[in-house]
Amino acid sequence: MAHYDDLTRRMLLKGAAGATALAGLGMPAIVKAQSDVIRIGHLTPITGFLGPLGEFAQMGVQLAAEEINAAGGVLGRKIELVMEDSVNPQTASAKAERLIERDKVAMIIGEISSASALAIGQVANRTKTVFINTGANSDALRGESCNPFMFHIEAANSMMVRSVGTYLKNENMIKGKKWYSLTADYAFGHDLFKVAKKFVSENGGEFIGEELVPTDATDFSPYLLKIRQARPDVVASNLAGNQITNFIKQYAEYGLQFPITGFGFDTAVAWGAGQGNFSGIWPLIWHHMVDTPSSRKYVEAFTKKYGKPPENQSWGDYNSLKIVAQSFDELKSPDPQKLAEHLRKGAKFDILKNREGYFRPYDNQMVQQMYAVRAKEPGKMANQWDIYEPLGSVPGPNEDLEVLAPPKDGTCKIQA
């Protein structure tokens, strides 16, 4: 009898192990459902060095779906999310196809990596399905790689540079100053550094150091020594994801005093740096202290649901789904072709900022306000989320919103 017991116990263990393995095999969060729902694909990196941001993206889009469904859904139908980890460009492309062909999603929201966004954008164009990019910044996606079905609620690198640049000019940190930059050594970093360098040079600054940092670097000390030896006036980060966390922590460890700034930034990586480590002036597409009625409502709902304030990545995915739901309602149809036309016609949307945003038809970039923040003194932080104070928003109240958008240099060839 003992032998028999042992056998069943083993079988049970094996069965449990098998089930665990199966569950991990990348099954979509929701597989099949009735046809009286509108299915939306959400595709973003959940693992890897952009994973922390992808998690906020999922939280944002789930909150939006809940709110939409609680208010009666879209055209009387519920929104159903099909969420996947995009992993890398190849997987992103394959999963985008599967979402469209097999799961019959009405459109796709997501992505953070510029390389993966490019891959999804190509699938979107071929299948004439709208894809709203919520986190990829490369200007090339709005330039030579643009297409009529890829929309960008996320700011382009040049928008990030111009917004934080405005504040750096105000603080006299550019003209006649020596700059030292650390740049993530892949497509995003290269693209960002190119526009950053152009901006700084045009405004009278000079780069005395331009380092490329491999994305798998975890120890920054040799770079910190070089910065210390070069004695720049400003240290600029064009790093990405977890790189920024490691860099900020070790910059504080080495006690370097040169002011820091950065052209690409996400709040989650600074929250993860810890007390007394975060410093500098940084750009953001949105932050949880933006003081408008819709923004306050969103922050409150998010904090209640997840126990922490939203960050900029969750803003993009939340608003994208809201925009799509609103558009379907206005169009009285979930038709992807009509959605693309509608968005390109300049429909305006409340995106939790003072002024409404719209996609401009030239490159499908969302034209909108941008923000900058300054790190708080450690003693003035009320809690672990309270790490910076808002510096304001650009463009100014009387300026055209489009001044920040990438220049219409003719590289994007979408037919009007």
Partner 1 sequence: MAFVFILEQVLNGLLVGAYYLLIALGLSLIFSLGGIVNLAHGAFYAVGAYLAVTLAPRIGFAGAFVASPVLVALLGVTVERLLFRRFYRSDPILSLLLTFGLAMIIEQSLRMIFGAAPLPFSIPPALRGQVFVGDFIYPRYRLIIFGVALAAVTATWFLVYRTAFGRVVRAGVQNPDMVGALGISLQPYMTAIAAIGIGLAGLAGVLLAPISGVHPAMGAEILTAAFVVVVIGGLGSFWGVIAAAALVGVVRGLTIYFFPPAGEASMYLLMALVLLVRPRGLLGERIQKFE
**Could you list the residues that contact partner 1 (CB under 8 A)?**
20, 24, 46-49, 51-52, 54-56, 185, 211-214, 216-219, 221-223, 225-226, 228-229, 242, 245-246, 249-250, 252-255, 268-269, 271-277, 384
User: For partner 1, which is the closer residue by CB, 150 or 184?
Assistant: 184
Output the smallest distance, CB 301 to partner 1, in A: 19
By the 10 Å C-beta count (0-12 exposed, 13-18 middle, 19+ buried), 302 is classed as buried
- Helix, strand or coil for residue 276? coil
Axis crossing angle, helix 187-202 with helix 157-170, rounded to the nearest 10: 40
* β-sheet bridge partners, residue 286: none
User: For partner 1, which is the closer residue by CB, 73 or 135?
Assistant: 135
Output the smallest distance, CB 256 to partner 1, in A: 9
User: For partner 1, which is the closer residue by CB, 266 or 363?
Assistant: 266
Which among 196, 189, 187 has a CA at the least distance from the CA of 162? 196
Q: Give the CB-side neighbour count of residue 380, counting CA atoms within 13 A.
A: 9
User: For partner 1, which is the closer residue by CB, 8 or 20?
Assistant: 20
Which among 113, 162, 120, 163 has a CA at the least distance from the CA of 138? 113
Output the smallest distance, CB 269 to partner 1, in A: 6
Rounded Cα gap, residues 223 and 406, in angstroms: 31
Output the smallest distance, CB 177 to partner 1, in A: 22
Output the smallest distance, CB 385 to partner 1, in A: 10
Helices (H), 171-257: 187-202, 221-230, 242-253
Output the smallest distance, CB 211 to partner 1, in A: 5
CA distances from 334 to 131, 328, 329 (A): 14, 5, 8
- Helix, strand or coil for residue 207? strand
Output the smallest distance, CB 13 to partner 1, in A: 11
- DSSP code for 383: S
User: For partner 1, which is the closer residue by CB, 55 or 206?
Assistant: 55
Contact 111, 86 (CB under 8 A): yes
User: For partner 1, which is the closer residue by CB, 187 or 414?
Assistant: 187
CA distances from 263 to 55, 231, 249, 252, 274 (A): 22, 20, 18, 19, 21
Output the smallest distance, CB 352 to partner 1, in A: 21
User: For partner 1, which is the closer residue by CB, 203 or 306?
Assistant: 306
User: For partner 1, which is the closer residue by CB, 271 or 298?
Assistant: 271
Rounded Cα gap, residues 154 and 367, in angstroms: 10
User: For partner 1, which is the closer residue by CB, 267 or 393?
Assistant: 267
Find the radius of gyration of the CA atoms of the chain: 22
Q: Give the CB-side neighbour count of residue 275, counting CA atoms within 13 A.
A: 7
Output the smallest distance, CB 73 to partner 1, in A: 29
Output the smallest distance, CB 213 to partner 1, in A: 7
User: For partner 1, which is the closer residue by CB, 222 or 392?
Assistant: 222
Contact 196, 222 (CB under 8 A): no
Rounded Cα gap, residues 129 and 100, in angstroms: 8
Rounded Cα gap, residues 83 and 192, in angstroms: 29
